[in-house]
Amino acid sequence: MVYKVKDEATNDFYALKVIYVKNGDLTPNILRELNLLTDIQHNRILRSEKSLLYDSRHICVITKLMKYDLKEVISQQGPISNDTIKEWMKQMLDGIGQLQAMDIIHRDLNPNNILIDVDDNIKIADFGFARSLYNSNLLTPDAGGVRYSALEVLLGAENYGKAADMWSVGCIFSELVTRGTPFDFRQIQIDQSCDHSKSLNNAVLESIFRKLGTPTETMWPGVSSFLRYPQDTSVVHPMQVFDVPSTYDDANGRSMLEELMIFFFYGHDAATKEMFLSD
């Protein structure tokens, strides 16, 4: 829960996030988020102004008050100008670049976690699922929202890296351009006979396969060994390039979006922004 609060001494407004501590136990996720909110000093990362233990079950984190998030912008009527998309993508990639320089994977990048301040500048927030790659053990395949998770994460890989965040950036980029999700989840039936999270994960995988094709051993050696690779191989969708709407006429932006929305994105990082930002 997030509240708008006022500092009576300065009359400045802040956001107060209340984190519930179950059974008084500070979990690794909570500790990790508190540390990252304090340690990362970058103008595209939402930093904690102060953290305090309210009682044995609640921690209060005070941050800069933001105007809205990208989800609200995308949900509004009317187009977003190319210049605005370009500036927001530049700022987002600047923030991701800082995380990558620190060997940190956010793992939950989505429009709800990309905040915009009163000057229309981007801040990346919500680090509860973030992980450090430095001396890290295998990563869990379950992180943030599955609709923005990279294919290797959805397939159950445990050795994914920074490229996973770049896929999420591509999904957000696509939403800014089209005002809708890059993959049509509405066409996929949720299997009510199995666990909901597993069924949703499979539905998202199928929607991606329909749009971009089914990855095979030929193009991605080892992909069939992933835990969640489809067992039914009777239907293999042909590989195809991500279809960028013709109404989006920024040539560099179109090329970047196509580059982001591919499966085998290992080795790429936030430096890809140079292609988008070049004249």
22, 39, 64: which is the final residue of a domain?
Answer: 64
Q: How many CA atoms lie within 13 A of 223 on its CB side?
A: 15
CATH number at residue 37: 3.30.200.20
The answer to whether residues 179 and 80 belong to one domain is yes
Among 12, 25, 39, 108, the one annotated catalytic: 108
Q: E strand or H helix at 251, and its extent? A: helix 251-260
- Look up the domain containing 236 and give its range: 68-277
- 88 close to 176: Cβ distance less than 8 angstroms: yes
Q: What is the pLDDT of residue 128?
A: 80
The answer to whether residues 56 and 189 belong to one domain is no
The answer to whether residues 45 and 85 belong to one domain is no
Backbone angles phi, psi at 236, to 5 degrees: -120, 115
CATH number at residue 72: 1.10.510.10
- 132 close to 162: Cβ distance less than 8 angstroms: no
Question: Which tens digit of pLDDT belongs to each residue from 143-165?
Answer: 667 889 888 888 888 778 888 88
For residue 267, name the pLDDT band (cuts at 50, 70, 90): very low
Tokens at 121, concatenated: 């500048």
64, 93, 111: which is the final residue of a domain?
Answer: 64
Chain centroid to CA 182: 13
By percentage, how much of the chain surpasses pLDDT 90?
18
The answer to whether residues 36 and 172 belong to one domain is no
Backbone angles phi, psi at 18, to 5 degrees: -100, 120
The answer to whether 108 is a known catalytic residue is yes
User: Averaged over 206-226, what is the pLDDT?
Assistant: 86
The answer to whether residues 59 and 153 belong to one domain is no
The answer to whether residues 94 and 9 belong to one domain is no
Measure the CA angle with vertex 42, ends 75 and 61; round to 5°.
70
49, 64, 79: which is the final residue of a domain?
Answer: 64
The answer to whether residues 55 and 82 belong to one domain is no
Is the pLDDT at 90 greater than 60? The verdict is: yes
The pTM score is 0.84
The answer to whether residues 53 and 175 belong to one domain is no
The answer to whether residues 211 and 94 belong to one domain is yes
Radius of gyration of the chain (CA): 20
The answer to whether residues 56 and 92 belong to one domain is no
For residue 126, name the pLDDT band (cuts at 50, 70, 90): confident
List of E strands, 208-271: none
Count of residues making up the chain:
279
The answer to whether residues 265 and 131 belong to one domain is yes
Number of structural domains in the chain = 2
Question: Which tens digit of pLDDT belongs to each residue from 22-76?
Answer: 766 666 667 777 777 777 888 999 887 776 666 667 788 888 889 999 999 998 8
The answer to whether residues 209 and 264 belong to one domain is yes
Q: How many other C-beta atoms can be found within 10 angstroms of the C-beta atom of residue 199?
A: 16
User: Averaged over 162-169, what is the pLDDT?
Assistant: 87
Q: How many other C-beta atoms can be found within 10 angstroms of the C-beta atom of residue 145?
A: 17
